[in-house]
C-alpha cells in the first residue's frame, strides 16, 4: 500500500528541522490566506534527519510536463497565479515588487506540481537553495522567484531532450508565467527590472556548472550565453 506521507531525508537533523519549521510557517500563512490556486503539502512530523509531509497525489511535476513536445501554457499561467498567492500570503503588506520580501528562494519547475483534475498548483521544497549559502536566500525582491523559473523553462533541459531548448514555446511559457503573476498581484511587473534579474540568475548559475559532464557543460554553456544575450537585447531595446 502506498504511504499517505512523503518522507524527505536530510544530511543532518538541523537541516530536517529547519525545512520542517519553515514549511509549517508557510503552510499556516497560506491556509489563512485561503488562496484559489495554491496548495502546500501539510508538514506532519520531524524525526532525526527525516521530515514527513502530506503526500501529494494525482499531480504532474512541472519539469516533467515541460519536457513534453506539446505543453499547455495555461499551466504556466496557473503557476504564476500560485506564486503571487504565495508571495501575498507570506507578505500581506506587500506593496512594491522592489522591496525585500519573504520568497520561495528555489522556484524551479521541479518544485511545482500541477493537479489537472482541480487546476491546482502545489509548491514544495522550502529548503535553502543549495547553491546559495547566503542567509538571505528566501528574503529578496519577488523578481528573484520570477526570474529563477526561466532557468528551467528556457535552459536546463536534460541532455536527451536538448532539442527542446530551441522551442519558441519556452519563451511563451515564461511570458504566460509572468502574466499569471500579474493577474493575481494586480500590478504590472517592471520588465526591465525582471530581465535584469533573469540575466543575474543565468550568470550566477552558469558559474556553478564547472562540475558537470563535458558534453552537458558544452551544450548548456551555449544555451546559457544565447539566452542571456537575448535578455540583454530585450533590456536594451
Ligand X SMILES: Nc1ncnc2c1ncn2[C@@H]1O[C@H](COP(=O)(O)OP(=O)(O)O)[C@@H](O)[C@H]1O
Q: Which residues bind Mg ion (CB under 5 A)?
A: 110-111, 125
**Least distance in angstroms from the C-beta of 11 to ligand X:** 11
The 8 Å CB, 24+ separation contacts for 92-99 are: 92/33, 94/142, 94/185, 97/141, 97/142, 97/143, 97/185, 97/187, 97/189, 97/190, 97/193, 98/141, 98/193, 99/141
Give the separation between CA 75 and CA 79, rounded to whole angstroms: 6
**Least distance in angstroms from the C-beta of 235 to Mg ion:** 29
Nearer to ligand X, 19 or 185 (CB): 19
* Binding residue (CB under 6 A) for ligand X from 26, 41, 75, 142: 41
Nearer to Mg ion, 46 or 113 (CB): 113
Q: Are 181 and 146 in contact (CB under 8 A)?
A: yes
**Least distance in angstroms from the C-beta of 189 to Mg ion:** 24
Total interface residues for ligand X by CB under 6 A: 13
Residues 6+ apart with CB under 8 A from 68: none
Give the separation between CA 37 and CA 10, rounded to whole angstroms: 29
- Partner that binds at residue 55, options ligand X, Mg ion, none, CB closer than 5 to 8 Å by kind: ligand X
Closest among 63, 197, 208 to 131, alpha carbons compared = 208
- From 30-38, 44-52, 54-62, 218-226, span contacting ligand X (CB under 6 A): 54-62
- From 47-55, 76-84, 165-173, 184-192, span contacting ligand X (CB under 6 A): 47-55
Element (H, E) at 199: helix 191-206
Examine residue 156 and tell whether it contacts ligand X (CB under 6 A): no
- Partner that binds at residue 56, options Mg ion, ligand X, none, CB closer than 5 to 8 Å by kind: ligand X
Q: Which three cell numbers stand for residue 122?
A: 502545489
Nearer to ligand X, 61 or 73 (CB): 61
Nearer to Mg ion, 49 or 110 (CB): 110
**Least distance in angstroms from the C-beta of 233 to Mg ion:** 31
Nearer to ligand X, 41 or 153 (CB): 41
- Map the footprint of ligand X across residues 78-117, applying CB under 6 A: 110-111
Give the separation between CA 79 and CA 232, rounded to whole angstroms: 25
- Residue 148 CA: distances (Å) to CA of 53, 92, 108: 25, 22, 6
Give the separation between CA 21 and CA 212, rounded to whole angstroms: 33
Beta bridge partners of 120: 115
What does the binding site for ligand X look like in residue numbers (CB under 6 A)? Answer: 6, 8, 41, 53-56, 61, 110-111, 124-125, 127
Amino acid at each position: 500500500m502506498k504511504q499517505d506521507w512523503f518522507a524527505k531525508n536530510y544530511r543532518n537533523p538541523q537541516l530536517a528541522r529547519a525545512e520542517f519549521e519553515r514549511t509549517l510557517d508557510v503552510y499556516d500563512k497560506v491556509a489563512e490566506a485561503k488562496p484559489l490556486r495554491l496548495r502546500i503539502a501539510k508538514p506532519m512530523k520531524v524525526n532525526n534527519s527525516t521530515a514527513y509531509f502530506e503526500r501529494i497525489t494525482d499531480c504532474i511535476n512541472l519539469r516533467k510536463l515541460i519536457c513534453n513536445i506539446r505543453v499547455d501554457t495555461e499551466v504556466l499561467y496557473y503557476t504564476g497565479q500560485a506564486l503571487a498567492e504565495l508571495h501575498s500570503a507570506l507578505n500581506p503588506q506587500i506593496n512594491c515588487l522592489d522591496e525585500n520580501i519573504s520568497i520561495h528562494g528555489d522556484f524551479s519547475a521541479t518544485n511545482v506540481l500541477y493537479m489537472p483534475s482541480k487546476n491546482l498548483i502545489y509548491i514544495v521544497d522550502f529548503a535553502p537553495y543549495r547553491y546559495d549559502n547566503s542567509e538571505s536566500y528566501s528574503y529578496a525582491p519577488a523578481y528573484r522567484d520570477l526570474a529563477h523559473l526561466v532557468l528551467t523553462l528556457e535552459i536546463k533541459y536534460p541532455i536527451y531532450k536538448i532539442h527542446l531548448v530551441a522551442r519558441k514555446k519556452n519563451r511563451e511559457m515564461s511570458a504566460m508565467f509572468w502574466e499569471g503573476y500579474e493577474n493575481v498581484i494586480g500590478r504590472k511587473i517592471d520588465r526591465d527590472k525582471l530581465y535584469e534579474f533573469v540575466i543575474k540568475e543565468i550568470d550566477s548559475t552558469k558559474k556553478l556548472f564547472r562540475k558537470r559532464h563535458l558534453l552537458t557543460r558544452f551544450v548548456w554553456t551555449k544555451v546559457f550565453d544565447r539566452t542571456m544575450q537575448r535578455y540583454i537585447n530585450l533590456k536594451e531595446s
